[in-house]
C-alpha cells in the first residue's frame, strides 16, 4: 500500500492547500511576519519613550497621534495576529490530526478558507496605516468614544467613515474572529470524530485537550463581541448611537462586550502554551505527566471561571463597588486552577532524569517568567490595588510577563521541540541556547524595571515624559532607557533564531523518526509527515505519557505499543 | 491502490461529521444573537419608553411571519424525511416550499420596513432625534440591527438550501438536507425570540 497522489500544482500544494500541515505552517509563517511588524512598532515607540524628541533610526520623528496608533496596533497585532494564529491555529492545525492519529482535519476546505480570511484580515489591518487620518490610536480595547466617530458627527460621510482607521480596524478584527471561529469548529469536530482506534478521551495528549478547551472558550465568548462590533461599526459609518450616552446608548456596554470576550481570550492564548509545556516536560524529565486527569479538570474549571471575571478590567470605569468585589473574588479564584496546573508541572519535574535540551529550557523559562506575571496579577485582581495601579506601567509589565512567556516562550519551546517533526532536521542547539539566554535576560531587562515605574505612578499612554516635570524624574527615565536598550537587544536576538532556522533547513535530513524519544503519536509518523500522515494508521493502546515504565526495556513506550 | 484513506480512521463517537460541525456552528451563531438580545433586554429594562416605540411595529405582519417561518420549518422536516427515504424528487419539492416560505418572509419584512421608514423610523431616526427623542431612536437602531442580522441569516439559510437542492439532483449528498434543515430551524428559533421582544412587548 502506498500513498499515490495526482501531481499537485504549486498553487494547490503550497498556496491554496487543504493539507492541515501546510495550513498550520502558513499560519505560523504569517504569525511570525506579523510578530516582526508588531516588534518594529514596539521598537519605534519604545525608542520614543526613552529618547523623546529625538529622530528614531529607521523611522524618523514620532508624533503623539502616531505614538498612540503604534501602541494600539502593536497590542492588536500581538494578540490577534501573532498569539491567536501561532498558538491556536498553527499548533492546532499541525498537531491535532497528528497527535490523535488522523489523516487530516474534519473540514479541509473550511480550514483553507479560514487561513485566507485570516490573511485578508492582516492586510486590512496593515492598510489602516495608510488611510487618511492613519491607524486607530485609541488603545487596543477600542473604547468608545475614541472608537465611535459617529459621536462627533451624527451624519458621517459614509465612505470617508468606512475607510477610516477605526472602521478598518473593526473590520480586520471581525474577519480575524471569523477565521478563528472556522478553525475552532474544525478542531472540535476533528477531535471528537477523527481519533485513531483506541484513542479514548483519557488517552488524548494534554495539548489536544487544551486546544479544544481554548476553542470552546473562544466560541462562547466571541459571539457578543461580534454583535458589539457591528454596533460599533454602525456608530462609526451610519451615525447610530449604541454607545453614545447622549443618544440613550451606553459606552459601558462596549466595555462589557469587549471584556466578556477579552478576558477569556487571555486563557484562549494561555491554554495552548500550557499544553506545549505538558508535552515537553514529561519527555525531558523521562517521567509520566503528574496528575493527567486533574490537569484536565483544572483546565475545565478555569474555562468556566474565565467567563465570570471580565469586569476586573473596568474597576475604574465606574462600576458598582459591590459588583467589583464579586469580580475581584472571581479573579483571585481563577488563579487556583492555574496554580494547580503549574504545581502538577513541578511535580512532573520532581525526581525526573532531566535532559536540559533547548525545548526544555524554554519550557522552564516559561514557568519562571509566568510566575512573576501570575503573582502580580493577584495584586491587580484586587480592586483596591487596581484603582491605584490602573493604566500604569505596572499593568504593562504584568501582562507582558504573562503574554510574552505565553506567546513567545511557548512558541519557541514548541518550535524547537517539533522542528525535527516538520522538517526532518535538527536545529543547532548551541545557537538555540544563546537564543534562549539572551531572550530571557533581555526580556527581564525590558519589563522588570517597569514595575517600579508603574508603582511610581507613571502612566502608560504618555508619549513624552519630558513635557511632564512632575512625573518625569529619576531613576524612572533611566529605567525607560534601560528598557528600550534591552528591547532592541531582544529584537536583535531573534535574528539568531532566524539564522538558525535558515541554516538548519539547508542541512540534510537526519532520518531520525523520534529524536526526543517521545511517546505521542505524531512521532510514529515519518518526519516530515507525508500527505495522509500515517501508513498504516496507528492503533492506540495506552495513555500519552508512559515514560520509564518499570518492566519496559526502554524508558519510553509509545502510545501504539500493545499492552503486554 | 489506496486513494481515499478516510475510512481507515475509525471514529469513536459515531456522529456524522457534517452534523457535528453544523451543531458547533449553530452554537456559535446562538451566542452572537444571545449577546445582542441581552444588550437589547438591558436597555429595554432601563427605558420603559421603548414600549411606546414597539407599539409602532406591525404585530400582524410579525405574527404572519412567525407562522410562515414555522411552516417553512415543517416543510424542511418533510424534505429531510424524504431524503432519508432517498426520494430526491419529493425532497426537492419540500425544499422548494421552504424556499418559498423564506421568500415570503423577506417580502413581508420589506413591506414592513418600507412602512416604518415612511413613518420616519429608520436606522438612525433623524426625525425622532430632531424631536428630542434620543432614547426612542435607539430602539429603532436595535430593531434594525436585530431584524437585519436575522434577515441576513434567512438569506444565508435560503442560499444554503438552494445550493443543496442543486447538489442532490443526482442523488448525491442527501445527508446535507438534514444539515441545512438544522440551520433553518436555528433561523426559525431566533425569530421566535425576536418576535415577542420587538412586536408583542409594548
Q: Do residue B138 and residue A241 have CB atoms under 8 angstroms apart?
A: yes
Q: Do residue B31 and residue A197 have CB atoms under 8 angstroms apart?
A: no
CATH superfamily membership of A22-523? Cytochrome c oxidase-like, subunit I domain (1.20.210.10)
User: Can you tell me the distance from the alpha carbon of A180 to that of A118, in angstroms, rounded to the nearest whole number?
Assistant: 8
Residue A305's closest CA among A283, A285, A331?
A331
Q: Do residue B32 and residue A223 have CB atoms under 8 angstroms apart?
A: yes
- How close does chain B come to A132, measured CA to CA in Å? 26
Evaluate if residue B192 carries a pLDDT over 80.
yes
Q: What is the CA radius of gyration of chain A?
A: 24
Torsion region of B82: left, alpha or beta (phi above 0 gives left; psi -120 to 50 gives alpha): alpha
Q: What is the DSSP letter of A195?
A: P
pLDDT number for residue A72:
94
Residues in B touching A235 (Cβ below 8 Å): none
Q: Do residue A224 and residue B138 have CB atoms under 8 angstroms apart?
A: no
Q: Count chain A–chain B contacts defined by CB atoms under 8 A.
A: 136
User: Can you tell me the distance from the alpha carbon of A459 to that of A480, in angstroms, rounded to the nearest whole number?
Assistant: 12
User: pLDDT tens digit string along B139-189?
Assistant: 999 999 999 999 999 999 999 999 999 999 988 889 899 999 999 999 999
Mean pLDDT, residues B70-88 taken together: 95
Q: Do residue B134 and residue A197 have CB atoms under 8 angstroms apart?
A: no
Q: Do residue B141 and residue A224 have CB atoms under 8 angstroms apart?
A: no
Q: Do residue A230 and residue B145 have CB atoms under 8 angstroms apart?
A: yes
Q: Do residue A101 and residue B20 have CB atoms under 8 angstroms apart?
A: no
Cβ under 8 Å to A: B residues 45-74: 47
Classify A188 as helix, strand or coil.
Answer: helix
Which of A230, A248, A530 to mutate to test binding with chain B, by most B CBs within 10 Å of its CB?
Answer: A248
- How close does chain A come to B11, measured CA to CA in Å? 5
Question: DSSP characters for A492-540?
Answer: HHHHHHHHHHHHHHTSPP---S-TT---SGGGTS-SSPPTTS-SSPP--
Question: DSSP characters for A355-414?
Answer: ---HHHHHHHHHHHHHHHHHHHHHHHHSHHHHHHHTTBHHHHHHHHHHHHIIIIIHHHHH
Which of B24, B47, B125, B151 to mutate to test binding with chain A, by most A CBs within 10 Å of its CB?
Answer: B24
Domains and CATH numbers, chain B: 19-200 (1.20.120.80)
- How close does chain B come to A240, measured CA to CA in Å? 5
Residues in A touching B45 (Cβ below 8 Å): none
Q: Do residue B35 and residue A247 have CB atoms under 8 angstroms apart?
A: no
pLDDT number for residue B13:
54
Residues in A touching B163 (Cβ below 8 Å): none
Point out the residue among B8, B13, B31 whose CB comes nearest to the CB of A193: B13
Question: DSSP characters for A58-102?
Answer: TTB---HHHHHHHHHHHHHIIIIIIIIIIIIIIHHHHHHHHHTT-
User: Can you tell me the distance from the alpha carbon of A404 to that of A398, in angstroms, rounded to the nearest whole number?
Assistant: 10
pLDDT number for residue A1:
34
Point out the residue among A103, A189, A240 whose CB comes nearest to the CB of B20: A189
Dihedral over Cα of A276, A431, A75, B149: its sign: negative
Q: Do residue B134 and residue A192 have CB atoms under 8 angstroms apart?
A: no
> By the 8 A CB rule, do A419 and A427 touch?
yes
ipTM metric: 0.89
pLDDT number for residue A349:
95
Point out the residue among A193, A241, A249 whose CB comes nearest to the CB of B17: A193
Residues in B touching A230 (Cβ below 8 Å): 145, 149
pLDDT number for residue A2:
39
Q: Who's near A323: CB < 8 A, 6+ residues apart?
A: A311
Residues in B touching A228 (Cβ below 8 Å): 35, 39
Q: Do residue A223 and residue B30 have CB atoms under 8 angstroms apart?
A: yes
Q: Do residue A189 and residue B21 have CB atoms under 8 angstroms apart?
A: yes
Evaluate if residue B98 carries a pLDDT over 90.
yes
Q: Do residue B32 and residue A224 have CB atoms under 8 angstroms apart?
A: yes
pLDDT number for residue A193:
87
Per-residue pLDDT of chain A (564 residues; tens, 9 = 90+): 334 455 677 777 778 888 999 999 999 999 999 999 999 999 999 999 999 888 999 998 998 889 999 999 999 999 999 999 999 999 999 999 999 999 889 999 999 999 999 999 999 999 999 988 888 888 899 998 888 764 456 667 778 888 888 999 999 999 999 999 999 999 999 999 888 888 988 999 999 999 999 999 999 999 999 999 999 999 888 888 899 888 888 999 999 999 999 999 999 999 999 999 999 999 999 999 999 999 999 999 999 999 999 988 888 888 888 888 899 999 999 999 999 999 999 999 999 999 999 999 999 999 999 999 999 998 898 888 988 999 999 999 999 999 999 999 999 999 999 999 989 999 999 999 999 999 999 999 999 999 999 998 888 888 888 888 777 788 889 999 999 999 999 999 999 999 999 999 998 888 888 999 999 999 999 888 988 888 888 899 999 999 999 888 889 999 999 987
- How close does chain B come to A323, measured CA to CA in Å? 16
Q: Do residue A103 and residue B27 have CB atoms under 8 angstroms apart?
A: no
Point out the residue among A189, A222, A248 whose CB comes nearest to the CB of B47: A248
Residues in B touching A197 (Cβ below 8 Å): 10, 12
Nearest-CA residue of chain A relative to B25? A185
User: Can you tell me the distance from the alpha carbon of B55 to that of A486, in angstroms, rounded to the nearest whole number?
Assistant: 64
Evaluate if residue B2 carries a pLDDT over 80.
no
Which of A240, A261, A529 to mutate to test binding with chain B, by most B CBs within 10 Å of its CB?
Answer: A240
CA A151 from centroid of its chain's CA atoms:
33
Q: Who's near A163: CB < 8 A, 6+ residues apart?
A: A131, A132
Q: Do residue A189 and residue B1 have CB atoms under 8 angstroms apart?
A: no
Classify A555 as helix, strand or coil.
Answer: coil
Look up the pTM and report it: 0.93
Residues in A touching B137 (Cβ below 8 Å): 241, 247-248
Residues in B touching A231 (Cβ below 8 Å): 39, 145
Point out the residue among B8, B24, B124 whose CB comes nearest to the CB of A188: B24
- How close does chain B come to A146, measured CA to CA in Å? 20
User: Can you tell me the distance from the alpha carbon of B110 to that of B102, in angstroms, rounded to the nearest whole number?
Assistant: 12
Nearest-CA residue of chain A relative to B13? A193
**Residue A178 burial (10 A CB sphere; 0-12, 13-18, 19+):** middle
pLDDT number for residue A7:
62
User: Can you tell me the distance from the alpha carbon of A446 to that of A464, in angstroms, rounded to the nearest whole number?
Assistant: 18
> By the 8 A CB rule, do A320 and A295 touch?
no
Q: Do residue B36 and residue A224 have CB atoms under 8 angstroms apart?
A: yes
Asked if the C-beta of B160 comes within 8 angstroms of chain A's C-beta atoms, the answer is no
Q: Do residue A2 and residue B21 have CB atoms under 8 angstroms apart?
A: no
Task: Name residue, grid cell 512558541.
Answer: A411
Q: In chain A, where are the structural domains located? A: 22-523
Asked if the C-beta of B89 comes within 8 angstroms of chain A's C-beta atoms, the answer is no
User: Can you tell me the distance from the alpha carbon of A331 to that of A4, in angstroms, rounded to the nearest whole number?
Assistant: 54
Task: Name residue, grid cell 456608530.
Answer: A235
> By the 8 A CB rule, do A225 and B35 touch?
yes
> By the 8 A CB rule, do B77 and B91 touch?
no
pLDDT number for residue A467:
82
Residues in B touching A225 (Cβ below 8 Å): 35
Nearest-CA residue of chain A relative to B125? A240
Amino acid at each position: 500500500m502506498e500513498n499515490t497522489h495526482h501531481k499537485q500544482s504549486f498553487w494547490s500544494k503550497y498556496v491554496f492547500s487543504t493539507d492541515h500541515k501546510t495550513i498550520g505552517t502558513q499560519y505560523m509563517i504569517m504569525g511570525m511576519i506579523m510578530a516582526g511588524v508588531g516588534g518594529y512598532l514596539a521598537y519605534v515607540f519604545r525608542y520614543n519613550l526613552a529618547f523623546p524628541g529625538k529622530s528614531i533610526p529607521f523611522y524618523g520623528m514620532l508624533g503623539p497621534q502616531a505614538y498612540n496608533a503604534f501602541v494600539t496596533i502593536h497590542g492588536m497585532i500581538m494578540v490577534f495576529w501573532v498569539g491567536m494564529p501561532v498558538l491556536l491555529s498553527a499548533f492546532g492545525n499541525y498537531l491535532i490530526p497528528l497527535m490523535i492519529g488522523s489523516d487530516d482535519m474534519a473540514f479541509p476546505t473550511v480550514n483553507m478558507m479560514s487561513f485566507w480570511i485570516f490573511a485578508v484580515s492582516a492586510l486590512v489591518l496593515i492598510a489602516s496605516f495608510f488611510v487618511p487620518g492613519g491607524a486607530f490610536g485609541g488603545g487596543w480595547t477600542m473604547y468608545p468614544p475614541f472608537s465611535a466617530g459617529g459621536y462627533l458627527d451624527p451624519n458621517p460621510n459614509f465612505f470617508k467613515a468606512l475607510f477610516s482607521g477605526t472602521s478598518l480596524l473593526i473590520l480586520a478584527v471581525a474577519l480575524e474572529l471569523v477565521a478563528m471561529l472556522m478553525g475552532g469548529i474544525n478542531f472540535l469536530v476533528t477531535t471528537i470524530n477523527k481519533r485513531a482506534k483506541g484513542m479514548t478521551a483519557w488517552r488524548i495528549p494534554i495539548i489536544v485537550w487544551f486546544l479544544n478547551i481554548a476553542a470552546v472558550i473562544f466560541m462562547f465568548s466571541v459571539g457578543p463581541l461580534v454583535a458589539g462590533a457591528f454596533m460599533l461599526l454602525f456608530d462609526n459609518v451610519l451615525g447610530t448611537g449604541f454607545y453614545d450616552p447622549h443618544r440613550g446608548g451606553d459606552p459601558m456596554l462596549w466595555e462589557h462586550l469587549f471584556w466578556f470576550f477579552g478576558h477569556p481570550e487571555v486563557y484562549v492564548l494561555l491554554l495552548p502554551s500550557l499544553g506545549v509545556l505538558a508535552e515537553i516536560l514529561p519527555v525531558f524529565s523521562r517521567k509520566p505527566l503528574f496528575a493527567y486527569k486533574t490537569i484536565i479538570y483544572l483546565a475545565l474549571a478555569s474555562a468556566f471561571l474565565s467567563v465570570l471575571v471580565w469586569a476586573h478590567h473596568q474597576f475604574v470605569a465606574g462600576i458598582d463597588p459591590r459588583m467589583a468585589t464579586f469580580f475581584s473574588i472571581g479573579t483571585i479564584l481563577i488563579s487556583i486552577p492555574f496554580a494547580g496546573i503549574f504545581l502538577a508541572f513541578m511535580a512532573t519535574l520532581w525526581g525526573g532524569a532531566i535532559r536540559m535540551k533547548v525545548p526544555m529550557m524554554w519550557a522552564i523559562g516559561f514557568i519562571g517568567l509566568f510566575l512573576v506575571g501570575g503573582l502580580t496579577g493577584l495584586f491587580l485582581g484586587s480592586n483596591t490595588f487596581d484603582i491605584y495601579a490602573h493604566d500604569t506601567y505596572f499593568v504593562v509589565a504584568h501582562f507582558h510577563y504573562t503574554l510574552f512567556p505565553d506567546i513567545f516562550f511557548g512558541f519557541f519551546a514548541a518550535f524547537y521541540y517539533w522542528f525535527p517533526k516538520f522538517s526532518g532536521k535538527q536545529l543547532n542547539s548551541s545557537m538555540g541556547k544563546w537564543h534562549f539566554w539572551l531572550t530571557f535576560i533581555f526580556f527581564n531587562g525590558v519589563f522588570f524595571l517597569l514595575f517600579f515605574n508603574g508603582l511610581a505612578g507613571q502612566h502608560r499612554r504618555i508619549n513624552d515624559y519630558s513635557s511632564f516635570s512632575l512625573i518625569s524624574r529619576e531613576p524612572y527615565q533611566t529605567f525607560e532607557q534601560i528598557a528600550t536598550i534591552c528591547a532592541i537587544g531582544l529584537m536583535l536576538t531573534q535574528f539568531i533564531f532566524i539564522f538558525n532556522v535558515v541554516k538548519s533547513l539547508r542541512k540534510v535530513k537526519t532520518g531520525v523518526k523520534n529524536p526526543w524519544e517521545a511517546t505521542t503519536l505524531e512521532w510514529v509518523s515519518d518526519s516530515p509527515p507525508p500527505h495522509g500522515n500515517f501508513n498504516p494508521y496507528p492503533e492506540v493502546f495506552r495513555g500519552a505519557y508512559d515514560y520509564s515504565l518499570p518492566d519496559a526495556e526502554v524508558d519510553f513506550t509509545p502510545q501504539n505499543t500493545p499492552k503486554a | 491502490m489506496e486513494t481515499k484513506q478516510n475510512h481507515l480512521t475509525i471514529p469513536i463517537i459515531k456522529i456524522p461529521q457534517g452534523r457535528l460541525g453544523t451543531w458547533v456552528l449553530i452554537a456559535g451563531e446562538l451566542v452572537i444573537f444571545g449577546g445582542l438580545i441581552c444588550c437589547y433586554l438591558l436597555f429595554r429594562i432601563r427605558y420603559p419608553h421603548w414600549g411606546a416605540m414597539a407599539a409602532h411595529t406591525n404585530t400582524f405582519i410579525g405574527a404572519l411571519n412567525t407562522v410562515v417561518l414555522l411552516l417553512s420549518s415543517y416543510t424542511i422536516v418533510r424534505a429531510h424525511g424524504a431524503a432519508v427515504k432517498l426520494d430526491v424528487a419529493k425532497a426537492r419539492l419540500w425544499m422548494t416550499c421552504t424556499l418559498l416560505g423564506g421568500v415570503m418572509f423577506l417580502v413581508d419584512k420589506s413591506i414592513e420596513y418600507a412602512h416604518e421608514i415612511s413613518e420616519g423610523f429608520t436606522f438612525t431616526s433623524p426625525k425622532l432625534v430632531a424631536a428630542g427623542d434620543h432614547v426612542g431612536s435607539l430602539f429603532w437602531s436595535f430593531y434594525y440591527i436585530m431584524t437585519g442580522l436575522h434577515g441576513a441569516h434567512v438569506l444565508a439559510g435560503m442560499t444554503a438550501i438552494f445550493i443543496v437542492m442543486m447538489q442532490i439532483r443526482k442523488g448525491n449528498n442527501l445527508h446535507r438536507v438534514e444539515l441545512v434543515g438544522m440551520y433553518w430551524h436555528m433561523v426559525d428559533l431566533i425569530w421566535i425570540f425576536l418576535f415577542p421582544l420587538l412586536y408583542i412587548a409594548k
